[in-house]
Chain A
Amino acid sequence: MADTPKMNTVGRPSAPDFDIEHTSFKTLLGGRGLLQSEKLIFEWDDYHRTGVDFADVAIDTSDLGDLVRGDTLNLPGLTEPEAVRHYVRLSQKNHAIDLALYPLGSCTMKHNPRLNEKMARVSGLGDIHPLQPVSTVQGALALMDSLAHWLKTLTGMPAVALTPKAGANGELCGLLAIKAAHEAKGQGQRRTVLVPSSAHGTNPATAAFVGYTVREIGQTNDGRVDLEDLKAKIAATGDQLAAIMLTNPNTCGLFERDIVTIAELIHAAGGYFYCDGANFNAIVGRVRPGDLGVDAMHINLHKTFSTPHGGGGPGAGPVVLSEALAAFAPRPWVVSSGQGFTLEEHGEDASKANFGRMCAFHGQMGMYIRALTYMLSHGSDGLKQVAEDAVLNANYIKVALGDVMSVPFPDGPCMHEALFDDSWLEGTGVTTLDFAKAMIDEGFHPMTMYFPLVVHGAMLIEPTETESKAELDRFVAVLRALAEAALDGDVSRFKGAPYLAPAKRLDETRAARQPKLTHS
């Protein structure tokens, strides 16, 4: 056997032997080390390759005549290694919860358990067809029934419509049920919705969608619904009042203390209480919306119940309904009998009142599976702990930053998210946007900015329960240091930020003025 050659270490430095002053040079290919530049798939030269192996069979299309496609598809194909590399390179330009804190207030970026993903892909769940005979999908219907049971029990509500495809679709479902209920009582003139000024944009958008007029209600100095203004608006709206749409905990991260009174006032005036359940994760397992007088509430399964956000969906937005609205739920729904489960798809049984159909088939089954897996994993005790830890983490952030950043509603605890405004930045030349962009250089995703609209330069931080104390401390240390830098006048650190992200600040005005939405 030949001698193993020894590595020649003579003259080989073990540390850099020159001072690196800066590294802001352009690389030959435009990437930066591990961060590869990546062209568009449409910029490959050869469009005739493919990453699948299908035979080119001969077919007789004479019966199709002119229907055969004549134009060039002009769609590039990549072989598998090229495709994998393309998407892996792109993926590395994304921030993700799996990488670091992602404190987008109101969005609930919590850890997504991988068991949920595994179960959604099991044969018999992930691969079944929505229109198979119901005798062959009894397990799927049982799963939906089980999810419904959990949702009803956790919310203390008697009914749930599972099919809405996301939160905003759930809002639409809730308002359509409310509209149908009013019309059934001969009260179709009730077409005004009261919405607080702090509401999510989807609330007024959904109200307008169903032809309702939006009337804003004011807010108190402590960030809650102004009861006096509410009473005045209810009186002024009279028999036009359809509903109130209220987020609770609200978008300032605060529990509406007067919520039971609000519900009573609305009900006494003939309206229904739609609760935007985007923030249900703050109270799940601890407070039941049914005990607060709610008539309808959507639940974002991708927030409270941890189905992945996927770069912008898919979500799922089941809507729990009170006794007063239950009969108006959209079709289809699962019916449980002694013999098993059936699916009511035509609404031909006793519940003729159903307002229609939200979508084809039966909703977001893939999300139902993930959410139920999450619920079964946590259980009633774990879910209560979820709410408590989420609220604890947010209050910890609020206190840990409250002496350097300004808190618009300082009195009392917050719920699952801590709200700051930009008054502390006054005179520094640094804006909320600049501050957020500097966080990117430090490896954190910015918080929700400029929302809710009722607070100037809002910064809404939602840490969620899946962050450890150590991670929160790391985050707090960075934000405190950044805050001090801003207050010390280190403006360039913020104005040019981010310096270290895969892209610099992007020209959004140009994108909107000369829209280029496809490659040409």
Chain B
Amino acid sequence: MEERDFEKIERSAAARRRLKSAVTYLLLALWALMVLFPFYWMILSSVKSYSAYNSEYIPAFITLSPTLQNYFDAFTAVPLGRYFLNTALFTLLTTGIMLVVVIPAAYAFARLEFKGKNAVFALFLSLMMIPNELVIITNFVTITDLGLRNSFPGLILPSVMSVFYIYLLKENFEQVPDELYKAAKVDGTSDFGYLVKVMLPICRPTVVTIIILKVIECWNSYVWPRLITDDSAYFLVSNGIQEIRENGFGRENIPAMMAAVVVISVPLIILFLVFHRKIMEGVSRGGTKG
């Protein structure tokens, strides 16, 4: 009797385990499909020819005659290449200036002693809570008044600062042992030399994380560029895609539109696939979105 009871428990436990794991995988696969399907659809649509796409009343899940014509159109019919260059330049400059501003500030907070340090740092921290929407109005007016609309300085300057990155970097800088600083001082290194030769190499992972996060932010930024540019010569990809949607290829050339979407998405996806561990780690430490 006892024996049979045991067998029953064992059997049902094993069955439950199997069922549970099957359901888990099914659920996870379902969500993976949900995530990946839009990507598949955009690539699929981008290689269908214009006529093929528009003749499909019922959309086809595969295409037998893929074409790259749409990609050609995307670069010729609208200035996609220009949007691309603009975005690359914007991303590069914004990230570069951000580093020049953020690193010394984090270093000052982490390593240097000066009057009012704590008060200033508290002020910085409290600025972290200020939503962008609140300051963007005045920035818009300021940049307009300065005559910087439709210019790179106008695009870049208000996008540079991220108080959070100062905080992140400062925390990391503080973990570098004091002894190194003292040793460097004894060896006759200046503060700046110490920052460049010792601190930055040690804290490289955090610096890389910050760079990646900022690059993602810049590449996808939409609101500020939209407010500050109405000359398509200064459009970034997000505005470009919106422009294409509103009056690009004519509303119906969906395949060309999708080709543009693929082209815009690819750089970040490649960046992600290469650095996915680093990016995910960085975001879980400090990114926010949504």
Report whether chain A binds chain B.
no
Which B residues form the contact surface with A (CB < 8 A)?
A: none
Which A residues form the contact surface with B (CB < 8 A)?
A: none
